[in-house]
Amino acid sequence: MSLVSELRAIGEQYPESRSAILPALRLAQERYGWLPPEALVEVAEALDVTPAYCMSVASFYDLFQLERAGEHMVEVCTNVCCGLVNAQAVLEAFERELGIAPGETTADGSVTLRAAECLGGCSTPTIVAVDHRYRQSVTPEDVPAIVREMRVNG
């Protein structure tokens, strides 16, 4: 099944197909790794909206990548609850280990590092989402192993 037909099938689950734009953009992003212009064209075609409309929606939401991102995504919660415990030290450990600042991607294109707003895991700080999977109670000492694991898993 082509991506467009898969996207259209998501649209059919809703009373109005446009409602499927978030799940459709999510699926397209999973396929491409980010949302290149051709992905927006395919989503638009499947849901009977324009690519520009898809762009206006995608640009509103944090999880959509409108620029090429790394193969892996590391998001460190730096809101107050994690911050009170050790979030800044965890973020800085990733910066050191990866050699990049938050918002940047490593030169080999393998990892993007981001700071994130509250991820809803406040009782087990610091929360780090690695490829959108939560790691709980992360300490700066855990960081080298997390980075190694990501690189091994290619």
Cα–Cα distances in angstroms (integers) from residue 13 to residues 18, 20, 48, 53, 147, in the given order: 11, 8, 15, 20, 38
By CB under 8 A, residue 115 contacts another protein: yes
The nearest distance, CB 111 to another protein, in angstroms, is 15
Cα–Cα distances in angstroms (integers) from residue 34 to residues 1, 15, 92, 122, 153, in the given order: 20, 28, 26, 29, 19
Among 87, 93, 138, 146, binds another protein (CB under 8 A): 87
140 neighbors 121 (Cβ within 8 angstroms)? no
User: Which residue, among 28, 14, 32, has the nearest Cα to 57 in the 3D structure?
Assistant: 28
The interface with another protein within residues 19-78 (CB under 8 A) comprises 19-23, 25-26, 47, 49, 56-57, 60-64, 67, 78
Among 38, 96, 117, 141, binds another protein (CB under 8 A): 117
Under the rule (CB under 8 A), what is the footprint of another protein?
13-16, 18-23, 25-26, 47, 49, 56-57, 60-64, 67, 78-81, 83-85, 87-88, 91, 101-103, 114-125, 129, 132-134
